[in-house]
Structures are given as structure tokens and as C-alpha cells.
Structure 1
Amino acid sequence: MDLPLSFIFSVATIFGLLVFGYLAWIKARANSSNNGKGKKVPEAVGSWPIIGHLHLLAGSQVHHKLLGSMADKFGPIFTIKLGVHPVLIVSNSAMAKQCLTTNDRVFASRPKTMASEILGYNYATFGVAPYGPYWREIRKIILLELMSHQSRKMFAHIRVSEVKSSISDMYKTCKRDEGSSEMMTKVEMKEWFGNLMLDIVVRMIFGVRFSHGQQNEDEYKKAIRRVFVLFGASVPSDAIPGLRWLDIGGYEKTMKKTAIEIDAMIDGWLEGHKKMLGFKEQANESTDRGFMAILLSRLQERKEDLYGFSTDVVVKSTCMALLLAGTDTTSSTLTWALSLLVNNPHVLEKCQKELEKYVGKDRFVEESDLKNLVYLQAIIKETMRLYPAAPLSLPHVSTDDCVVGGYSVPKGTRLMVNLWKIHHDPEVWTDPFEFQPERFLTSNKEIDVKGKHFELIPFSSGRRICPGITFALEAIQLILANMIHGFEFQNPSNDKIDMTESPGLSNVKASSLELLVSPRLPPHVYRVSI
């Protein structure tokens, strides 16, 4: 079919303007990049006109491993071009420390992207909001009302009851199948961890139970997972803004559809809170109302919008950020941990012996036991080292010129810290690709994951460090301890579990984790009242 001449002319004009703008931008960057403060950062070879290195990201290899291979060639600090945007790639602990301590304020903001605009309520969502007074205000509320020691203690009963309920349900499933010839029950553990974390986080944030089997449950789960994938996608118009009208790949259409689905789910819970009588008094009386009720109560006390955002937008965007941050990443870490344990039965056996020593075999693991389970903690650290939940940190953007490692970094440069590459640095870690929890009991005993030791920063560091570190660690320890204490796990085949990673913002195991499960404690332990 012949195309209209007007259409051809329009495309040619736009393409010409893009080329002209790109060349002008290249010249401007060249004039400003060497500002006398340091030498120019090495740039990876293979850049194409206009698109830069975008073509390299189009392959099947996950981006953190691709960029890790590039770091082997170009060093621990180099740049790539994603369309019109220069991106600083940092791949060792020394360079990461300079970016997230010395230059922490400079790199504290986030770049503008289509996902942050459409899925992030026009940049109101906490994790992708620009650095400034709005972000600081929301962060303060989250830390005080949800992540402080007192708040976590108040919400602890939710985590404990949901874990006990899920374990009891799994035991009942095993008992129903106890007459099978295999004497073990097949359970898809990746899905099981995902459901459990969804139950915990939804109840903590929204004050409701997410009933499995309810209408639209699958759609909600798929929408939540799709948000993670879309935030981690390489969207062409993010690299070359002039292409947005073409919607190459259909990203904008998919994002708008997903945003509507997520907003409808959260808006339903918000309207439910608004309709409850005596809201303000009840919100302060019971944590069963959830963080949404507390946040709504605080914001309703204000007489004006919060830095241009309405109360509804702030509440929904903040709660969505917490929902996403607390489910996919945590369940992924649990999935990787159990996969590693099944692939390394001697480690699993050693951890079970530690549990028997400090807990016994007549009760569940309680939160007060966790401080004694040092080998379990080492397993979790080693899992986060090998499979960080977000292997590439969320992108930062510099708001001023700065110097990193003696190199000049111009204002407007995007920053990506390759956490996966840092965690596999052979100069820091002996046998970096091997699963060796014992390293955290000996040579690396003092290293923790809370952002102070840059050899291991699965939650990142600096101003933009994940505020939910303690919540995530408490949840992962309690769930994993009870699972491996309460059940035996076995791979249905004699092969090792497939450890292939999938692309996206969070590091999700590509395949399912179907295991044979059987109880290992006396029957009365599983009969608990919730």
C-alpha cells in the first residue's frame, strides 16, 4: 500500500530534526564534559548514531550481566549512551561509595521516564520522585509510621499470623496427599512465597486480607508483576523522546492499561477507608487498619495539597510503592534462597541442625529466635550477594557537575550501579560465583547488607537507600526459618534446579520452583489457632 506523501514528508522532517538535535547535543556535551575538574570518563565502544548503545540491550542476556561483561573490558567506571542520555555505569565498591557518599546529594534525584510518569502517578510515587521537599516529606512519614522500631513492633503480629496460617495450610495440603506413592506433595514454592508476601504487605498497608481465589486475583497479581517489568524495560522514547508519538513496542499503551488496573485496585481500598465512620479515632487505635489509614489521617490534617499533589494521589502512589517494594523483591529473595538450599543439601542440613538447637522440634520459629540463627543469616546474606533483588540499582541522575574516581561527570548524567557485578568482584570475594554462606562467619563476618559496606549493598546506599531494609530482613528470616524448620524439600528430578534469571527491575527466577514437600515436625506443631 502506498504511503501518503504528507506522511513520508513528516517522518523525514522529524528524522532530520532528531539527527540535527542529536549532533548539536553531542557537540554541547563535548564542550562541557571536560570542565577542568577531571578527565573524561571512558566510553564503551559500539555506540551507533542517534541510538547510542541501545542495540546492545536488545539481546536476550540480562542487563546486569551484559554490563558486567562490559566492565571487564572498559573498567569499573565507564559510560554508555542510551539515545540522547549519557549513563555512568559503576561496577565496583570504591566507585559506588564515591557516588553514594561523597556525591550522594548530586546523585539523589531520579531521571524522568515514561514509567515514572504513567505508572508513578506523574512522579508522585516515592521511589521514582525527584529529590526535593516532597520526597523528603513522604520518606519521613514512611520511616516514622511504618519502618520505625515501634511501628514494626506494632505490625509484627500481622507478619507472624500470616506466616503461621500459610504453614498450617501447607501442612493440610501435605496431609491430603499423604497416601500418594511419592509420600511427598508437589508445591510451587515461587507462587507460594509470592502469595504469602502479598498477604502480609496488603494487610499491613491496606488493612485488609487479600483472599486468594477472589475475583480478579490473577489480574491483580499480573498487573503488579507487569509494573516491575515495565519499570525495568528499555523504552525507546525514554532514550529518544521525539519517538514517543510512535509508541514503539506498545509500551505507552501497556503502561496506561496497567496503571488503570493498579489504580482501580488501590482506589477501592482507599474509598473503603474514607467511608468508615470515626476514621481518625480508629486509625490511631489499631494497626489492623493499615498504613493507608494512618497516612490518610495525617494528610487530611493538612489544609492544602502536598507540593501540588492531591491527598488521594499521595496516598495511592505511596501505598502502591510500598506494595511493589514489599512483595516482588522479597518473594524473589526467598525463592532464590530455597533454590540454593535444595541445590546444596549439606547447607540445608546444617541450617536445620541450627534450628533444632535453638528452637527444638516442638514449636514454630518465633521472632525472638532469629538473633541466635547466625547460619541462617549467613545464608540470606549469601543469597542477596549472588542474586540481589534489584541487580541494577534504580537509575539516579546528577543535578550538578561532579568528580567520580578522578573523572569529570557532567550535570544530567544518569547513574546505574551494577550491584550484581559488585557482589561478584573477585578482588573482594573468594570464589565469587560459589554459594558459600560460611564466608559470612569467617573472612567476611563483619560485612552486613545495610548500606555501610559497599562490597554488599543489595538495598543500595545513601539518600536513596531502600527504607524497608529491616522489614525485609525480618520477613525473610522468619519465613525462611519456619519453612526449612517445618518441611523437607526435594527436587522432583535428579537435576539441579534451574537458576536462570529473568529481565526486569527485580531479579525474578525465570522458571517455576516446583518441589516435593513433606512435614518434618510432630503433627501438633502445625495445629495452630490464628
Structure 2
Amino acid sequence: MNINLWIIVSMVVGMIFIVLERRRRPKSTMKLPPGPPKLPIIGNLHQNLRQIGGGAELIYVTLFKMSQKYGGIMTTWLGMKPTIIISDHEGAWEVLVNKSADCASRMIPYLSKYVTANRTTLFSTDHGPYWQSLRKGVQGYAMNPSAISTQTLSQENEAIAMTQTIQEQAMINGGIIRPLVYIRHNTIRVVGRLCFGPDFNNKAFVIGIDPLINDVINLTAFSRFSEVFPFIRYIPGLRGSFRKAIEIRDRVMSMIQPEISRYQSSKSPCTTCYLHFLLSHDYPMETIIFCLFEIFFLSVDSTSSTIAWALAFLIRNPEIQKKLFKEVSGGDKKRERVTVYQVNKMPYLQAVVNEVFRMKPIAPLGIPHKTVKDTTLKGWKIDKGTAVMVNIYAIHHDPKVWDHPEQFMPERFLNENARNVSVATERSFLPFGAGMRICAGMDLGKLQVGLTLANLINKFEWVAADGDGPDMTDAYTALLRMKEPLVAGIKLRTNLGTTLS
């Protein structure tokens, strides 16, 4: 059977599958919130397709604009399945906090099973005793405050070593640097010590796992469509992403397994790292591997992309960069390094970081939730098993809450701004989510972003590599990134009149 006939047969079978699935589904009494008109079979999927095709605004921006017409709670359709979109802080707080138990499960695409050990990792599994056990493991080991604090000196040394590497590379390239790869590698080393123990120092692992993280992120765009039309996994011409997912799964396992073996053969293995927790609970080896990979996946891209966005904003706002440098350098006293202790005492640095989180939330549509029982949201009856997404981008750009939301204004987060201590604003700043499934790595992420950014600003003045400055265009699959990785010029702070050359 040739491939064209395969496609025709598969599509016919797919249409039959959709019709039968619709008839088999129990009749719902749910009265859905209003939303944009949908097309037969594909629903509102065409808006996603326009985004993937390029040239169109990104989906979270489109949904934000739609919410201004249809309201803070609305319905969109991916194929024949409804998704509830929340775009205001009242609805977000209801989903994430007040009714977090009702919306605590995950809507994870079929394709993701290959990189989540069949959905048995903390990120991918539904709420319940198993999830609670993993959550305690992450909070009690990988992201435990005492474990993080024991790494303080190593974390500071890593930041200084990174700035030295950036300086050396910029000297080779006439003062021009692409800093993202160095920031990513720095973050991988920090996370590696929390996962495997303080003696982790595997350069090959650091270099090797970075592209794996990118590959998993790049799979996510296709996974949304494969979930809408499950039959496409049987169409020969469209099965490449499934083969790619299996290949990535095998590469992740071959990358992490040696580190587990090294740990197991150690005469004095660390008893406070995340791997120790996973091994002590006798999880299957594949689950252990992907629970570890998940920490890298969720930490590395989010942290490094936020730092890159921060540098881009500071290049485009030199007065803000000068003000930040004055704080991180200690005013008239030139610091050789910025320490963790000092970072926690720098209000303007924290304001800059928060403003970057607000303007460029790494997960602008959050992580899709799924209702675990029939419930209500903002007065609307929502059936069990319904997907719910919180548009964090919309909440962070709500002009009813934020003055001039499109402007980069760190001052809005300083204590003297009375408006920023209102309940509305507290509930409208959700870069890490909220409630039961708030990001477990929030504290580490904020610390790593602040420490890295402070040392980069302390050592270098960051300037545009060309007259136009950094390209601030968004790119979005599952996470928000810069469409074009940051390219910048740097000048040593010890001699502001010369560039590196």
C-alpha cells in the first residue's frame, strides 16, 4: 500500500474514530462559558496552526485579546475537546488556590509519555498519594532550603567562573558574546549537585544534557496536535515525532544512567540529594531517570531564558542598568563578586527580576490542569476531566492591575509603591503558579536568576551588539524563549572606556 493510500485510509479511520468517540462520550450537562467561534472537527486549532506557521501573533496574546471580548473565563476547542481559559486574577486564584484540589490533575499529551516514564514523574502525574510522595522528595531533597544553602559557596564560585569564561570568549570575538549557552551550563552544574550530590562535576554530562532539554521542548508543539487527533500516530508520514520521542527517551536514559551507577558505586554517597530519595523509595529505574531529568528540564531553560531576557531589557534600558549596577557593586565600593547573602539584601535587583518574570513569564499559559471531579469556576459548571489553562501572560498584562503593563518598570515592585501591596496585585503576579501545584523550584529559580544576573552586571556593562539592540521577539512552544538567542556587547566595569578586543 503506497503512502498516499495510507494517508487516505488513516484519515477515514480517524474521522470514524472521532464520530464514535463523540457518540460514546456521556452526555454532558455542562454549560460552557462563551468563547470564539469554532470550526467543525478542528475547533479553534487553526489559531494554533497559524502560530506554528509563523507570522502570526502567539497564542497567549491571541487568547488575551479574545478575553477582552469574551471575559475572564472562556471556552476554546482543540479539536472536539473544550479547554477553559482563565485570563483574570480572580479566576486564576480560584483555579490554583481556592479550588486547587478540584483542578489538581494534569492534561499531558500522549506523546509526552515517552519522556515522563509513562507519566510517572512529579510534573506529569495526577494529584494523589503518589504525587504527594514525589513532591515531598523534591521539596525535602532537591529543593530543600538547607541543601541549597550548603551549595552557596559552590554556586557563587560557579557564577564567577562563568563570568570569566564569558570574558575570555568575548575577547576572542571582539567584545561580542552569545551568553545563553554559558548561563545554561552554569545552571546545569548547580542542578546536578542537587540531584547527584555536591561532588557532581561531569563536564560531558553538562554538555550532553543541554541539547536533550532543547529536543524535549521542541517536541511539545507537535504533541498538542497528536493529542487532538490520536489517529495521526498511525499515519506513516506523521510518525516521525513519535520515533523522535523514543530516540530522545533512549538518549536521556543513556545520559543519566551512568551518573546513577557512579552514585551507587560510591563508598560515601550523598544522603541529602534527590537521587538518594528516589533510590530509597524503590521507584522503577525509568521513573528515577525521568524524575531526575525533569528537574533539569524544568530548571535549566526557565532560569537561563529569564536571565537572557533580563540582560536584553537592561541593554534596551541603560538607565535601569546603571541603577542596578550601583546596587550590585555596592555604590562606590567595587565588589569582586556578589554573594548569595548580598543578593537577598538587594531590593532593586529583586524588583528587576520580578519585572522580567512579569513581562516574560516562562510558561505564559501555565501548565494545563484537568478537573478531577465536577466543579464550578466563576459560577460556570465544569465537568470532570475538562482541561483548564490559566493565561498568566494575560494576568501579568492586565491594565486594570498594572500601570503601563507593556513598559519595563522594575520600580512597580519596590515597597514604596503602595499599589503593589494590594491583594489584586499579589494575586496577579504568578510566574511560578500558585496553590497546590506551585513550582517546587521557585526559591532556587529566583535565587539562581538573581545571583547570576547580579554577577554579570557587576563585572560587565552590557550594550547592544549592533545599533538596533537585542531582538525582543518571543518564541513559544511549551516555554517562552527569545526567538533569536541574545547577542550582546560587553565592557569590563574596571575600564568602562574600552571594549573587550
Query: Does the alignment reach a TM-score above 0.5?
Result: yes
Match of 2:348 among 358, 371, 375: 375
Shift of 1:150: 1.5
- Equivalent residue, structure 2, for 1:315: 288
Shift of 1:11: 5.2
Instruction: Give unpaired runs (5+ residues) of structure 1.
Output: 35-39, 300-304, 524-530
Aligned: 1:41 with 2:38: no
Shift of 1:191: 2.2
Deviates more, 1:351-360 or 1:260-269: 351-360
Counterparts in 2 of 1:237 and 1:519: CA distance versus 1, 3 Å: same
- Equivalent residue, structure 1, for 2:29: 32
- Equivalent residue, structure 1, for 2:43: 52
Shift of 1:15: 2.4
- Equivalent residue, structure 2, for 1:18: 18
Q: Which runs of 4+ in 1 moved over 4 A?
A: 1-11, 216-219
- Equivalent residue, structure 1, for 2:246: 256
CA deviation map 1:449-499 (0-9, x unaligned): xx9932000000111110111111111111111110111111121113210
Match of 1:209 among 187, 194, 201: 201
Counterparts in 2 of 1:112 and 1:487: CA distance versus 1, 3 Å: closer
Deviates more, 1:191-200 or 1:511-520: 191-200
- Equivalent residue, structure 1, for 2:269: 282
> Is the Cα–Cα contact under 8 Å of residues 188 and 515 in structure 1 kept in the other structure?
yes
Shift of 1:135: 0.8
Match of 1:495 among 468, 484, 492: 468
Deviates more, 1:399-408 or 1:150-159: 150-159
> Is the Cα–Cα contact under 8 Å of residues 362 and 521 in structure 1 kept in the other structure?
no
Counterparts in 2 of 1:4 and 1:225: CA distance versus 1, 3 Å: closer
- Equivalent residue, structure 1, for 2:81: 85
Q: Counterparts of 1:161-200 in structure 2 under 5 Å? A: 161-173=157-169, 176=171, 185-200=175-190
Q: Counterparts of 1:56-71 in structure 2 under 5 Å? A: 56-60=47-51, 61-71=57-67
- Equivalent residue, structure 2, for 1:302: none
Aligned: 1:295 with 2:277: yes
Shift of 1:201: 1.8
**Hey, what's the Cα distance between the residues in 2 that align with 1:229 and 1:264?**
20
Counterparts in 2 of 1:430 and 1:8: CA distance versus 1, 3 Å: closer
**Hey, what's the Cα distance between the residues in 2 that align with 1:163 and 1:198?**
12
Aligned: 1:227 with 2:216: yes
Aligned partner of residue 194 in structure 2, secondary structure: helix
- Equivalent residue, structure 2, for 1:419: 392
**Hey, what's the Cα distance between the residues in 1 that align with 2:5 and 2:310?**
59
Deviates more, 1:244-253 or 1:370-379: 244-253
CA deviation map 1:242-274 (0-9, x unaligned): 333227363212211111111211112112222
- Equivalent residue, structure 1, for 2:54: none
> Is the Cα–Cα contact under 8 Å of residues 397 and 412 in structure 1 kept in the other structure?
yes
CA deviation map 1:352-385 (0-9, x unaligned): 1122336820421111112321111111111000
**Hey, what's the Cα distance between the residues in 2 that align with 1:141 and 1:452?**
32
> Is the Cα–Cα contact under 8 Å of residues 10 and 232 in structure 2 kept in the other structure?
no
> Is the Cα–Cα contact under 8 Å of residues 392 and 416 in structure 1 kept in the other structure?
yes
> Is the Cα–Cα contact under 8 Å of residues 198 and 210 in structure 1 kept in the other structure?
no
Match of 1:446 among 413, 416, 421: 421
Aligned residue type for 1:267: Q
- Equivalent residue, structure 2, for 1:246: 235
CA deviation map 1:8-50 (0-9, x unaligned): 667535523422433554xx44x4214xxxxx311321x1222
- Equivalent residue, structure 1, for 2:428: 455
Shift of 1:84: 3.3
* TM-score in terms of structure 1 length: 0.85
The percent identity for this pair of structures is 26
> Is the Cα–Cα contact under 8 Å of residues 188 and 206 in structure 2 kept in the other structure?
no
Aligned: 1:94 with 2:90: yes
Counterparts in 2 of 1:516 and 1:314: CA distance versus 1, 3 Å: same
Deviates more, 1:187-196 or 1:325-334: 187-196
Instruction: Give unpaired runs (5+ residues) of structure 2.
Output: 52-56, 497-501
Shift of 1:232: 4.9
Counterparts in 2 of 1:399 and 1:170: CA distance versus 1, 3 Å: same
Aligned partner of residue 472 in structure 2, secondary structure: coil
**Hey, what's the Cα distance between the residues in 1 that align with 2:397 and 2:6?**
54
> Is the Cα–Cα contact under 8 Å of residues 233 and 239 in structure 2 kept in the other structure?
no
Shift of 1:104: 0.5
Shift of 1:198: 2.0
> Is the Cα–Cα contact under 8 Å of residues 491 and 516 in structure 1 kept in the other structure?
yes
> Is the Cα–Cα contact under 8 Å of residues 279 and 288 in structure 2 kept in the other structure?
no
Counterparts in 2 of 1:431 and 1:273: CA distance versus 1, 3 Å: same
* TM-score in terms of structure 2 length: 0.90
**Hey, what's the Cα distance between the residues in 1 that align with 2:432 and 2:194?**
21
Match of 1:516 among 479, 489, 501: 489
Aligned residues: CA RMSD: 2.7
Counterparts in 2 of 1:201 and 1:359: CA distance versus 1, 3 Å: farther
Aligned residue type for 1:84: M
Counterparts in 2 of 1:272 and 1:430: CA distance versus 1, 3 Å: same
Counterparts in 2 of 1:18 and 1:164: CA distance versus 1, 3 Å: same
**Hey, what's the Cα distance between the residues in 1 that align with 2:487 and 2:463?**
9
Aligned: 1:130 with 2:120: no
**Hey, what's the Cα distance between the residues in 1 that align with 2:114 and 2:4?**
32
**Hey, what's the Cα distance between the residues in 2 that align with 1:147 and 1:117?**
25
> Is the Cα–Cα contact under 8 Å of residues 295 and 315 in structure 1 kept in the other structure?
no
- Equivalent residue, structure 1, for 2:499: none
Aligned residue type for 1:56: Q
CA deviation map 1:407-458 (0-9, x unaligned): 111111101111011100010011110001111121444379xx99320000
Aligned residue type for 2:421: E
